[in-house]
Chains A and B, each alone.
Chain A
Amino acid sequence: GQQVMQIPQYQHVQEGEDFTTYCNSSTTLSNIQWYKQRPGGHPVFLIQLVKSGEVKKQKRLTFQFGEAKKNSSLHITATQTTDVGTYFCAGPGTASKLTFGTGTRLQVTL
């Protein structure tokens, strides 16, 4: 079945440093979605990318969808303590089956 892997599993940065998480799917995706889950919270939808090579920005967050539509990345510029949480990518496979990646836990310290 479809597998979605993310690297790294965990990253600890100092406030102001940049952060990137990478997402790789075993199958081609119709689109890629990104979510953020704060500690003790629930996943919150951030964005959806649909087109091959698409790049979207949300303030300090930059999302990219690979040309082959099998990988994606999320880059955060100048991290802040409010960025703490786990970032998941998710890809709908067959019939809209939304499979989540393994997640990258981000810790930010002052």
Chain B
Amino acid sequence: DAGVIQSPRHEVTEMGQEVTLRCKPISGHNSLFWYRQTMMRGLELLIYFNNNVPIDDSGMPEDRFSAKMPNASFSTLKIQPSEPRDSAVYFCASSLAGAGAFFGQGTRLTVV
């Protein structure tokens, strides 16, 4: 298996634009997590899904953020409109039944 695949690896966008981050979890994993990492705030859990269903989105900072998981092999995190303070590395991770999580390479987002 190729592991968790995220795209794009890097994204530079202007303030106010819509940004969509994509994730393909490991086949067979039933949990998917979206994290944001910054120097100031560390690794923050934004939202997670179990069996494609959003379980807890309390970490989503604002209504500008939304996430979907239309099927077991794909998830998106959308920011609309983006702001400079959204600049961070966004990680997607997947796991099976509460075992260790496997992370993608991350998307480095810069909003100018």
Contact = CB atoms under 8 A, between A and B. Distances in A.
A90 B101 CA distance: 10
B55 A103 contact: no
- Counting from the closest, the 9 A-B pairs by CB-CB distance are A45-B100, A100-B43, A42-B103, A43-B103, A96-B98, A97-B56, A42-B106, A95-B55, A48-B100
A33 B101 CA distance: 9
Interface residues of B, number: 23
A96 B106 contact: no
Could you say which interface size class chain A belongs to? 20 to 34
Contacts of A48: 99-100
A90 to B, nearest CB: 8
A33 B100 contact: yes
Interface of B: 31, 33, 35, 42-43, 45, 48, 50, 55-56, 58, 91, 93, 95, 98-106
Contacts of B45: 97-100
17 contacts: A30-B98, A33-B100, A33-B101, A42-B103, A42-B104, A43-B43, A45-B100, A47-B100, A96-B31, A96-B48, A96-B50, A97-B55, A98-B45, A98-B93, A99-B45, A100-B35, A100-B45
Contacts of B48: 96-98
Nearest to A48: B100
Interface in A36-70: 42-48
Contacts of A42: 91, 103-106
Nearest to B106: A42
Contact of A45 (B42, B56, B98, B102): B102
A45 B94 CA distance: 11
